[in-house]
Structure 1
């Protein structure tokens, strides 16, 4: 499936990607609401370096996975856009903290040794939504009993976790059938971990959530006046927290 930045697919298909929804949600809940979603913020720039390092880490044999290697890979993609961080001090703090958290996450006892999927972009079609969903599976483990999807984030607000959980329920149901799915979300700044058992959500609940997201997101992409006034964001916030 091909998809454009506003989520409108080729021809009559509508396809929305997880990263598009995450950027959109960020603009609704932060002070940079009026900025161009293509202008990457400090969190997205940091994620880029972290994701490169994680991907490189898992391409190496376990014996070669050292702190120095991780640091080297992280530095390769670390941004020089200090102004995005607001100050030299915060720029250095983020750099140091995220690298420390990465090493702790990747070397702890419960670490993944060999992910079944690693930063794999996958698409599914959801008839109930008349919509295609595109999702980047950052790291996935699988056993006969269940699937575990790991996600590394800079932001773990209630709204972002809800979006990831509901999208994962629908996506995994279509991609992997009815196999139980567990989500492990790690905040790269704080090290805080969230374990989400998706069996607490029904498929219908998650479909209803994504119907709302689809309607509000696509409407916000096509209505400049309402986007500037934040009306669609208010409508979405009220709906998801009811």
Structure 2
């Protein structure tokens, strides 16, 4: 991302990482080895994504709770040291698998149209391209034959990330597919919460404005220090330098502007 020019391309996975921790994001961009190390959340997200993908590769009659457990044993990370402690590791695994099983069994009759695919579209009102990785896009069983839902399975409930995902998905789908999803689901496997958003044509101007604001904030947000993701911060190797007085002073101006994103 160049600070001297407007952002012409927004990639969803990079935007999410930046929102979670701008400081770590820019360190990765400059090839800092320590910043590039994966953490517990990323390892859990990797496992959850593979479990969901493998689950939907099976025919509906084979999608059972036992299958989810077997897939979890296959994909769950053995790297206990990436978590706060052994208890945190096992608790995270038990909660995630239990909630993921419940979600998947509720949706086992779903017919995915798109399954873990990356798509790209040019959004004319924004004069920018968006790329988005869709985990599950499925037929809406309660709608018409052209209605669909978008689902994202997550291991945290970062409010900034969720709101951005909702707005970006609405804008992307409206541009790329010519039809809004009837529902956008964020499924949190740690809490078991299903966060539903029902986009409408009347909401599109607001979502476009949100993405415009994202576009203007991104070049500066690389200097922003995230301070409310406490669990992840505790195990971050960059914590001491991120929370230094220098980093705090540098972030102050950006904090004021980026606050508009969540208003």
TM-score (norm 1): 0.82
* Equivalent position of 1:67 in the other structure: 65
* Equivalent position of 2:119 in the other structure: 122
* Equivalent position of 2:262 in the other structure: 241
- Answer whether contact 2:114 2:134 (CA < 8 A) is retained: yes
- Answer whether contact 2:25 2:222 (CA < 8 A) is retained: no
RMSD: 3.1
* Equivalent position of 1:160 in the other structure: 161
C-alpha distance in 2 between matches for 1:137 and 1:171: 11
Describe the shift of the 1:222–1:35 C-alpha distance in structure 2 as closer, same or farther (beyond 3 A). Answer: closer
Secondary structure of 2:112's partner?
A: coil
C-alpha distance in 1 between matches for 2:167 and 2:124: 16
Secondary structure of 1:119's partner?
A: strand
TM-score (norm 2): 0.76
Secondary structure of 2:36's partner?
A: coil
**Pairing 1:97-108 to 2, within 5 Å after superposition:** 97-108=95-106
Shift of 1:229: 2.8
What is the total number of aligned residue pairs between the two structures?
231
Secondary structure of 1:116's partner?
A: strand
Does 2:128 correspond to 1:131? yes
Q: Which has the higher contact order (CA 8 A, sep 6+)?
A: 2
Point out where structure 2 has 5 or more consecutive residues left out of the alignment. Answer: 29-34, 226-245
Describe the shift of the 1:155–1:114 C-alpha distance in structure 2 as closer, same or farther (beyond 3 A). Answer: same
Shift of 1:160: 2.1
Shift of 1:118: 0.8
* Equivalent position of 1:20 in the other structure: 14
C-alpha distance in 1 between matches for 2:127 and 2:180: 23
> Which of 152-161 and 228-237 deviates more?
228-237
> Which of 77-86 and 159-168 deviates more?
77-86
C-alpha distance in 2 between matches for 1:80 and 1:232: 41
Q: Give CA deviations for 1:159-215 in whole Å, capped at 9, x if unaligned.
A: 222101110111011111134531111101011011101118622211111111112
**Pairing 1:1-242 to 2, within 5 Å after superposition:** 6=1, 14-27=8-21, 36=28, 38-108=36-106, 110-142=107-139, 143-144=144-145, 146-199=147-200, 202-221=203-222, 229-231=250-252, 233-242=254-263
Describe the shift of the 1:33–1:116 C-alpha distance in structure 2 as closer, same or farther (beyond 3 A). Answer: closer
Shift of 1:241: 3.5
Secondary structure of 1:202's partner?
A: helix
Secondary structure of 1:230's partner?
A: helix
> Which of 73-82 and 131-140 deviates more?
73-82
